[in-house]
Amino acid sequence: MEMETLIVDSGEGIGRITLNRPERGNGLTPQLISELAEAVEQLDLDPEVRLLVLSGNGSGFCGGYDLVASAEKMLDGEFGSDDAPEGSPLDPRVQAANHDPDRTWDPMVDYAGMSRNVRAFMSLFHCTKPVICKVHGFCVAGGTDLALCSDLLVIADDAKIGYPPARVWGSPTTSLWAYRLGAQQAKRLLFTGDSLNGREAVEKGLAIESLPPEELDQAVEELAARIAMLPLNQLQMMKLLVNQSLYAQGLHQTQLIGTVFDGITRHTPEGYSFQQRAAEAGFKQAVRERDEPFGDFGLKDE
């Protein structure tokens, strides 16, 4: 498959999707999100593929949404070209009009855009084949949606994973934290926006294995090869069987609330103040000021 933001290939029963915007921390854009869903669908339909491995090029897995340009320009409406169709809910011009504090905010425009992102992230969850997510460096903010929608998370010891936008200007739209960690541990992270290193992620149950960075690739390859030994139909049935328990716990309803809340967080007084600061001083500076009191100084672009 020819992709602009991903590298997609397969062999020996394993389909591989690699986020490939290393110069932007593999930041999420409408194009990357759309290509991700397309790649998952194609590999899911490939009878030679038994499982998928999701990873990222560069210094880290994914720094979340690529919001630098939009956050800095949202309030003055200065947008250049974007890869979203003109007039769609993901078109930055539509977003700018909807996020103008002098105009009435339409939450359903917000939901129309973000729910499509959730649908794309959840393609990893709905894929009939197992998905391993390999995390190195950092996996923060929207990047955690990719990791938690995958079936198995293998992470480097020194990697950081968390959702700093819980402090201001964000709500986890795929809302899988409580399902992966339990209610109390999820609250501990979302009440602070704190992140975990790889070893802590395993201790809390967020990841299945943590390894020194130099051993991460080999460990994922060995796990993938072991899973690929099973018949495809067995893997599909086992994944569907386990996923039913999350559906029964109300995952769809939780994601609906989380996605609506994400829009609300960007339209509170604090959300507008954060956005104004980003327009004045730059998005990275606004994130740094938000996160410095917590000691992590803005892990990466969100």
Distance CA 294, CA 166 (A): 12
The type of residue at 142 is G
Query: What's the pLDDT at 72?
Result: 61
**What gap in Å lies between CA 166 and CA 189, rounded to an integer?**
9
CA dihedral 21, 22, 24, 26 (to 10 degrees): 60
Given the structure tokens 């990893």, which residue do they identify?
124
What is the second-level CATH architecture of the domain 6-294?
Alpha-Beta Complex (3.90)
CA distance 64 to 59: 14
In a 3-state reduction of DSSP, which class is residue 203? helix
pLDDT digits (tens), the chain, 302 positions? 789 999 999 999 999 999 999 999 999 999 999 999 999 999 999 999 999 999 999 999 999 999 875 666 554 544 444 567 766 777 665 676 677 778 889 999 999 999 999 999 999 999 999 999 999 999 999 999 999 999 999 999 999 999 999 999 999 999 999 999 999 999 999 999 999 999 999 999 999 999 999 999 999 999 999 999 999 999 999 999 999 999 999 999 999 999 999 999 999 999 999 989 998 998 899 999 999 999 986 554 44
What are the extents of the domains in the chain? 6-294
Kindly give, in sequence order, each residue whose CB lies less than 8 Å from that of residue 149, ignoring residues fewer than 6 positions away. 121, 122, 123, 124, 125, 131, 174, 176
CB 71 within 8 A of CB 279: yes
Q: How far, in Å, CA of 286 to CA of 226, rounded?
A: 45
Name the DSSP letter for residue 85.
P
Q: In what order do the strands lie in the sheet with 152-156?
A: 6-11, 14-19, 51-56, 131-135, 152-156, 209-211
What pLDDT is stored for residue 243 in this prediction? 98
Is-above-0.85 flag for pTM?
A: yes
Closest C-alpha among 190, 189, 208 to residue 147: 208
